[in-house]
């Protein structure tokens, strides 16, 4: 079964990296360490892909941890039962669309937060001082839905628009199996567009951004091999379509980062917690991955736990603030 699970991974990643900063012939695809050309591309377009980021060994470790978390033998991932011993690895993986905060339970995913390729890119496109606050492990078996148009700052609001995703491809990601699609340059408006329920079974329970001045002809697929990393700005409009391959998975580990200079007003304090006011609201369940944390004196704390994201297959009632939504028939 392991062979089947690794079937669509492209693991030819031990070849020497291209010279620093050089890019492939496709626009937006670079090797690391990156140079000014890549930074300029990112500023203009709101995304870039690093093709030579993870080694085969790093990928294999994350694959094996993905399986461990999906089997959930110790029940630490909320929202999915421990897999019975008789359940195949493939079946265990197929149960889960995505696990939020896997770095809380996996050392290799925690290590992936400050992978040198990520530090290289983020210290050039965000700030010398960078912190991480979130990870998501998409497993996306054949037949699973995508995520409708959205901007990540809808969900993780920074105060200086510095939110950046690092989308680590664990399998080859193609149009067929549900790669990322982006609208280049859409981050530049600096506007968070309205969101509404889409009712479309192609997508999971998250809302869809609407009212922006782009159409489908403006979107481009970001197809990458396993081990590549796609970086994208928190204001960039992006989505993914369902995995339409007949078999296999489209796995990706997505980490989120921001400047350490900005507070992160992500969670309201509970009634009995001291509160200095909105301007000082700061989520401190963070990992500093580069430079200095100007707010280190505030300490850090554990606020998030690994849990499964609803795929929509069992309905979306508990998502979007408990708002009841249903799919169009």
Ligand X SMILES: O=C(O)CCC(=O)C(=O)O
**Residue nearest to ligand X as judged by C-beta position:** 240
Structure tokens at 85: 């011993």
8 A C-beta contact, residue 303 and residue 318: no
> Between residue 199 and residue 228, which ones bind ligand X under the rule CB under 6 A?
none
> Between residue 239 and residue 258, which ones bind ligand X under the rule CB under 6 A?
240, 252, 254
**152 near ligand X, rule: CB under 6 A:** yes
Measure the CA–CA gap between 182 and 297, rounded to whole angstroms: 38
**163 near ligand X, rule: CB under 6 A:** no
Provide CB contacts within 8 A for 307, sequence distance 6+: 77, 78, 79, 99, 100, 101
**146 near ligand X, rule: CB under 6 A:** yes
- Report the nearest approach of ligand X to the CB of residue 324 (Å): 23
Measure the CA–CA gap between 170 and 137, rounded to whole angstroms: 10
Measure the CA–CA gap between 115 and 121, rounded to whole angstroms: 10
**238 near ligand X, rule: CB under 6 A:** yes
Going by C-alpha positions, the residue among 52, 89, 87, 85 that lies closest to residue 69 is: 89
Listed ranges 15-23, 120-128, 144-152, 268-276: which one lies at the site for ligand X (CB under 6 A) = 144-152
Here's the x/- map for ligand X, 262-301, by CB under 6 A: it reads as: ----------------------------------------
Strand extents, DSSP E, the chain: 29-30, 47-50, 98-100, 130-138, 147-150, 164-169, 180-182, 195-196, 208-209, 220-222, 229-233, 238-240, 252-259, 287-290, 307-308
For ligand X, the closer CB: 101 or 295: 101
**193 near ligand X, rule: CB under 6 A:** no
Size of the site for ligand X (CB under 6 A): 11
Neighbouring-strand partners of residue 240: 147, 180
- Report the nearest approach of ligand X to the CB of residue 146 (Å): 6
**138 near ligand X, rule: CB under 6 A:** yes
Binding-site member from 165, 184, 234, 312 for ligand X (CB under 6 A)? 165
8 A C-beta contact, residue 165 and residue 256: yes
For ligand X, the closer CB: 51 or 209: 209
Give the H/E segment covering residue 69: helix 56-71
- Report the nearest approach of ligand X to the CB of residue 179 (Å): 8
For ligand X, the closer CB: 152 or 285: 152
Task: Give the residues lining the site for ligand X (CB under 6 A).
Answer: 136, 138, 146-147, 152, 165, 178, 238, 240, 252, 254
């Amino acid at each position: 079964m392991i062979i089947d699970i690794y079937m669509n991974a492209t693991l030819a990643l031990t070849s020497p990296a291209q010279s620093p900063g050089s890019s492939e012939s496709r626009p937006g695809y670079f090797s690391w360490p990156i140079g000014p050309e890549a930074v300029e591309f990112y500023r203009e377009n709101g995304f870039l892909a690093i093709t030579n980021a993870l080694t085969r060994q790093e990928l294999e470790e994350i694959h094996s941890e993905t399986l461990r978390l999906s089997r959930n033998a110790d029940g630490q991932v909320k929202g999915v039962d421990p897999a019975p011993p008789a359940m195949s690895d493939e079946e265990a993986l197929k149960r889960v669309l995505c696990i939020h905060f896997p770095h809380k339970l996996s050392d290799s995913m925690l290590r992936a937060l400050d992978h040198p390729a990520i530090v290289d890119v983020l210290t050039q496109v965000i700030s010398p001082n960078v912190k991480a606050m979130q990870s998501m492990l998409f497993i996306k078996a054949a037949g699973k839905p995508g995520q409708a148009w959205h901007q990540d700052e809808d969900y993780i609001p920074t105060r200086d628009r510095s939110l950046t995703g690092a989308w680590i491809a664990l399998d080859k990601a193609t149009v067929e199996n549900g790669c990322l699609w982006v609208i280049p340059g859409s981050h530049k408006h600096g506007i968070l567009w309205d969101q509404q329920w889409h009712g479309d079974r192609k997508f999971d329970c998250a809302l869809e951004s609407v009212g922006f001045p782009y159409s489908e002809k403006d979107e481009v697929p970001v197809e990458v091999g396993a081990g590549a990393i796609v970086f994208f700005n928190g204001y960039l409009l992006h989505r993914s379509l369902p995995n339409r391959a007949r078999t296999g998975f489209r796995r990706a580990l997505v980490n989120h980062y921001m400047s350490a200079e900005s507070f992160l007003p992500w969670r309201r304090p509970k009634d009995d917690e001291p509160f200095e006011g909105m301007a000082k609201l700061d989520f401190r369940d963070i990992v500093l991955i580069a430079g200095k944390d100007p707010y280190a004196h505030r300490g850090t704390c554990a606020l998030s736990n690994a849990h499964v994201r609803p795929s929509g297959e069992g309905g979306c009632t508990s998502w979007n603030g408990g708002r009841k939504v249903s799919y169009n028939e």
